[in-house]
Structure formats: structure tokens, C-alpha cells
Structure 1
Amino acid sequence: MADSAVQGIKTVLHPVTDLAKAKKVYSALLGIEPQTDGDFYVGFDVAGQHIGLVPGAGTQGMDAPVAYWHVPDIESKLAEVTAAGATVKSPAADVGGGRLVATVTDIDGNVLGLMQDR
């Protein structure tokens, strides 16, 4: 079985309604310009963390920020957390560059993100 220890929360995605305005706020908060700056995603890398702004995320069921726990084997971790009582909200999917993401809800409805970089 693969090592299933988490590598910590390294990514937090925030749903936004106005990407340009949100980018200004987060640039001011973090004191840096974004490293990824597109029409469909803006991302900041600061202090070992990645902060992402996701426009239109509400239409994808993302209505609050989601913290992503980085894991070495996303399928193994999904199996572990669902066996413990979590429910899969979105199964593992490749979002580009070999990065896999998934979300689950805990027993209280909190959304937990899982992320694996290949």
C-alpha cells in the first residue's frame, strides 16, 4: 500500500464573483502579484502556500473556500476517508499537468479537498 500520509494543506481555493476585483484584494492582502493570471483562474504562491481564485465556482458547487490536503495517493486517501465516514463530493479528476483533485464532505458537511501531483 502506498504511503498515505498527508503532506499538509498547501492549496486553498476561493470562489469569486468578480475575478478582477478579487485579484486586487488578494494582491493587496498578500503583497505580491499573482504567478498565474488568466481569465478563468488567478493563483498566488506565497510562503509555501498556493492561494487560488476561481470565478464561477458557485456553478460547480463551490460556495466557500476549500482547503486542499496534498496527498501522495489520492485514490488510496479517498478510500480511507470514505471508509471512515466521509462522502465523495467530486471524485478524483485530472485538472491539468498531471494534478489530480477530489473533494469529500465530512460527517458535518464540511468540504475537504484532496490533491495529488504526479
Structure 2
Amino acid sequence: MTKTTNFRGLATVRYHAEELEAARAWYTEVLGVEPYFERPDYVEFRLGDHSQELGISRTPSAPAGVVAYWHVDDVDAVMARLLELGAAPHEPLRDYGPFRAGAVRDPFGNVLGVMFNPHFLDVLAGAGRD
């Protein structure tokens, strides 16, 4: 089944941090990779199976009501590590059928969601493709 839509996939998630250097260092530690793109007020990481982009801008902003959830294979371990590295609890880990998700606030006030999502793994494996 082919799905037609103007929305083709997640391009970039952008977070905000007035202390950009501290945010760069924290996310480098969390993600285990260096940014692939930098300019004075912005850094960007590529991650995951689809090289999706996580950008951090020096622009101050308050978190809004949207949470982007990043698929992780061991959501409990990743959540524990985020909290150990200074993130604050935002949404406790919860089970939604085969899904498990939760969110933290990073040290800069952004909401970072993590989720185990079997549908992500199905798409990655090519299930449901023509």
C-alpha cells in the first residue's frame, strides 16, 4: 500500500539553549556523536537509522506542548542515563500496549522524549512496503 502525503518524514527537531556551548557538550555526551554542522548560534547532530537531524539554537524559547519521541531500543536504560546526566523528569515511563515512552527536560529546558516503538522497527525492516 502506497501512502501519499506532503509530509514525507521528520527533517529536523530543533531545541533551544541560551548556553549553546554547554548544550553542545551535553548532547555530545548523550548522543555519543559530535555535531556534523556548526555555526556561531547553532549546532546540528545527525542520528539514527535515517540520519535525522537534531539542531540546537542559541535562540531563547520556552518549551511548548509538542514532544518529539526518539526511538531507542532500551527505553529504561536511556531514561536512566538521561536522568544521571542531569535531565529532569517530565513524563514518567509508561506502557501503551507494545510501546513504552517517557520524557525528560534537558538541562536547558527542552522536552526530550524517548520511546520503544515496534512500528519504527517494522518500517526499518521494510515491513508494509510495496
TM-score range, shorter chain: 0.3 to 0.5
Bigger CA radius of gyration: 2
Structure richer in strand, relative to its length: 1
- TM-score normalised by length of structure 1: 0.46
Structure number with the bigger relative contact order (C-alpha 8 A, sep ≥ 6) is: 1
- TM-score normalised by length of structure 2: 0.42
